[in-house]
Amino acid sequence: MRDSVTFVVFCRNDKDRLRTLIETVRPHLGKRGEVIVVDQSSDDGSFEVACEFADRTFTRTRKGYPDPDRNWGYAQASNPWVFTCDTDELPDEKLLRVLPRLADKSHGARVFWLKRKNLVDGVDIFPILKEDWQPRLFVKGALQYSDRMHTHPRIDGPMQMWVDTGCIVHERTMTQIAGASKNRALAGDPEMQAKEAQFGQAVKSFLATGTVTEGE
């Protein structure tokens, strides 16, 4: 039996893409689908956009990255299934068409890994990030995230599936990557901040040369 889905969005100062994301995904959430926005103290009007277009909006303190709020945000869902994105991501039409069929407990899966396509300044950076699978559709409570950046969650149970239809498009600019790297300083994690800086340099080099230097 198919269930309705709660869409949880994490946001920080991205009002235009927030509205587009909600309007794109909402029609595919089912009859009792809901949209929750977890906003990290935006000051550009994102909170007001969320209040207008989401069903529920929560304000959290600014942390520079969403991971510390993920477990809390997913716990607010009213529906048994959770689908999640950040505002720099957008599911494509192929993925959105299969989304309602995936949210069905009869097949036994608790977590679906979805493909993510990473673009920077419109260029696919697949040679850097390779196959980027993300656990973005799951039964509420099936994932537990660490507070650290860029770590996969602990998954409750073995029933996982990988979806080869459609993808989530993750689109950024070099300016946004540089800004994000500075924001990471709020995390107080020098190791992860260094990795962010290294990633930014690798992308900058790839965009300039079209090749990936060994070790990047």
Per-residue pLDDT reduced to its tens digit, 149-180: 777 889 987 799 999 999 999 999 999 888 76
Total count of residues recorded for the chain: 216
| Domains recognised in the chain with CATH numbers | 5-115+134-171 (3.90.550.10)
Question: What is the distance of C-alpha 166 from the center of its chain?
Answer: 15
Q: Which phi and psi (to 5°) does residue 167 adopt?
A: -165, 170
Alpha carbon distance 79, 132 (integer Å): 27
pLDDT at position 1 over 60: no
pLDDT at position 193 over 80: no
pLDDT at position 213 over 80: no
- What angle (nearest 5°) sits at the alpha carbon of residue 119, between those of residues 210 and 206? 20
**Which SS3 state, helix, strand or coil, does residue 6 take?**
strand
Alpha carbon distance 75, 143 (integer Å): 10
- What angle (nearest 5°) sits at the alpha carbon of residue 183, between those of residues 42 and 144? 80
Radius of gyration in angstroms for the set of CA atoms belonging to the chain, rounded to a whole number:
17
Predicted confidence at residue 185, as pLDDT, reads: 65
187 near 65, Cβ under 8 Å? yes
Q: For residue 81, what are the CA distances in angstroms to 4, 8, 51, 76, 129?
A: 7, 10, 22, 12, 28
Q: For residue 136, what are the CA distances in angstroms to 32, 129, 152?
A: 19, 18, 11
* Tens-place pLDDT, residues 31-83: 999 999 999 999 999 999 999 999 999 999 988 778 889 999 999 999 999 99
Which burial class, exposed, middle or buried, applies to 177 when counting CB atoms under 10 A from its CB (0-12, 13-18, 19+)?
A: middle
* Tens-place pLDDT, residues 87-140: 999 999 999 999 999 998 778 899 999 999 999 999 999 999 999 999 999 999
